[in-house]
Structure 1
Amino acid sequence: MREWIADDVLPVRDKSVEWLSQFHFFRDPIRPIYIDPDYFFAPADGVILYQEVVDPEHSVIDVKGSAYTLREALRDDTFSQRCLVIGIFMTFYDVHINRVPYSGRLRYRELDAIDTVNRPMLDVEHELLHQLRVPAKGCEYLRHNQRVINRIDVPDLHLSYYLLQIADYDVDCIMPFELGQNNYVDQGHRFSQIRYGSQVDLIIPLSDRYEFTTLCEPEEHVEAGIDPLVHITETTEEKNR
């Protein structure tokens, strides 16, 4: 994270909010596209806030002393799968183009904020940029804010995984690039954008067929489509079939 702040944040930190909004925020840099079926790549640029394996009713992170669960995140009381969850916080200085971590068929649904307006993410951004640490509080937005739940079905892995996009207070605008449902999306390709501050969670249900090994740690900064987050290997039982 220190290296990213020194290279990408400090050179533009003195610019006005107007300049950042007009000329910096909407950048979409050309990137190589990596295709590798052994990895899930990062879906977003940002700092890893948390990385946990959790049951659906157990806490991903505590918010104001109460458990924020997968069922709450997906707003689905019937969700029943144990999952690996990786939360990536996108600051105002990050590229906000989201990319596909693993190829498959994409469908999505948008859910409104629970309250009248979204909760702000500014406290989390301040802690990351100024204190260089993942904050212990200020994550109320996880429970309340507008979100888009993207489900990507992957027949080759015999599973479906999820990308949970959560919008910030300022501009609650999550923009999918294709409006059709069940379209095939390729690993590394652009599929959506969230305007201004935001967060993307990669949620991978665990499998008897495969082992998922994480490659990054909380407080690391990652780039969408560039950094592999999870290594996929067949289980011993699957190899012996």
Structure 2
Amino acid sequence: MRNLIKIAPEGYSIILVVSLLCLFSYCASIFFNYSWISLLSLYLFYFLLITFYFFRDPIRKIISNDDFFLSPADGRIVDIKPVDDSELGKSTKISIFLSFFNVHRQWAPLNATVIQTSYNPGKFFGAFKNKASEKNEQTSILFCDEHKNHFKIKQIAGFVARRIVNHMNPNLDVSKGEKIGFIKFGSRVDIIVPENFKVKVKKGMKVKGCKTVIGIYL
């Protein structure tokens, strides 16, 4: 069966507001014979279609191999580099840029337990810029998998995306492919893994959440 497409609950409020504006402007265009109102109604209708498209929430069938670390997001790999992380020590950071046209859902890459979460307010540089990883508004989620391997997923706001939704709480158990959050509009997701992780992607590659293998623990 082909992937089913649903609408992300995180977008319901925005879709409702745009729908009401669209309906109001359409009714106004009927009662008032002004061309600009009709044009506004048309633009709002197009914007409503774009909003539905952006908040699509596909159901993904995950790869069955439990050892594969799957991509937590759709997008393109824009950076892979060594870092010294405060919790994980010497690590590798893999950055995924999500354009407006990507699905903005985030999924759990492995079966794991949430150790801690944190939120850091920040700036709103373009998510494709490397400085966004450190300076932009972001949430950080530290996980521990079934084999006691630790890793982090960071949801990072971009120039347009200014609303991060994180569904994770400490001590919560998640299954591979489970929804962990959503970032509204263009954004970035960073993966931070320790030295015993073998990366299987390269800079410039397009990745798909729950489908692309990012790597494997050794």
Structure 1 residues 17 and 141, CA, compared in 2 at 3 Å: closer, same or farther?
A: farther
1:214 correspondence with 2:199? yes
Matching residue of 1:119: 125
The aligned runs of 1:91-240 (5 Å cut-off) are 91-106=99-114, 107-113=116-122, 117-121=123-127, 124=128, 138-154=129-145, 156-178=146-168, 180-207=169-196, 212-233=197-218
Contact 1:148-1:174 at 8 Å conserved across structures: yes
Question: Which contiguous aligned blocks of 4+ residues in structure 1 show a shift greater than 4 angstroms?
Answer: none
State the secondary structure of the residue aligned to 2:57: coil
State the secondary structure of the residue aligned to 2:47: helix
Q: What is the rounded CA distance, in whole Å, between the counterparts of 1:193 and 1:80 in structure 2?
A: 24
Q: What is the rounded CA distance, in whole Å, between the counterparts of 1:199 and 1:166 in structure 2?
A: 5
State the secondary structure of the residue aligned to 2:165: strand
Unpaired runs of 5+ residues, structure 1, are 1-15, 57-69, 71-77, 125-137, 234-241
Matching residue of 1:134: none
Matching residue of 1:36: 65
Q: What is the rounded CA distance, in whole Å, between the counterparts of 1:17 and 1:108 in structure 2?
A: 37
Q: What is the rounded CA distance, in whole Å, between the counterparts of 1:148 and 1:118 in structure 2?
A: 14
1:33-77 Cα deviation digits (max 9, x unpaired): 33423211001100001123x241xxxxxxxxxxxxx5xxxxxxx
State the secondary structure of the residue aligned to 1:82: strand
Matching residue of 1:84: 92
Q: What is the rounded CA distance, in whole Å, between the counterparts of 2:153 and 2:100 in structure 1?
A: 20
Q: CA deviation at 1:79?
A: 4.7
Q: CA deviation at 1:195?
A: 0.7
What code does the residue aligned with 1:223 have? K
Structure 1 residues 228 and 17, CA, compared in 2 at 3 Å: closer, same or farther?
A: farther
Choose 214-223 or 27-36, whichever is displaced more: 27-36
Q: What is the rounded CA distance, in whole Å, between the counterparts of 2:181 and 2:174 in structure 1?
A: 11
What code does the residue aligned with 1:195 have? K
TM-score (norm 1): 0.65
1:164-188 Cα deviation digits (max 9, x unpaired): 111112341111235x322001111
Matching residue of 1:236: none
Q: CA deviation at 1:190?
A: 1.0
What code does the residue aligned with 1:224 have? G
Q: CA deviation at 1:80?
A: 6.2
Q: What is the rounded CA distance, in whole Å, between the counterparts of 2:181 and 2:50 in structure 1?
A: 18
State the secondary structure of the residue aligned to 1:93: coil
1:51 correspondence with 2:83? no
TM-score (norm 2): 0.71
Q: What is the rounded CA distance, in whole Å, between the counterparts of 1:143 and 1:109 in structure 2?
A: 14
Q: How many residues align?
A: 173
Q: Percent identity, aligned pairs only?
A: 24
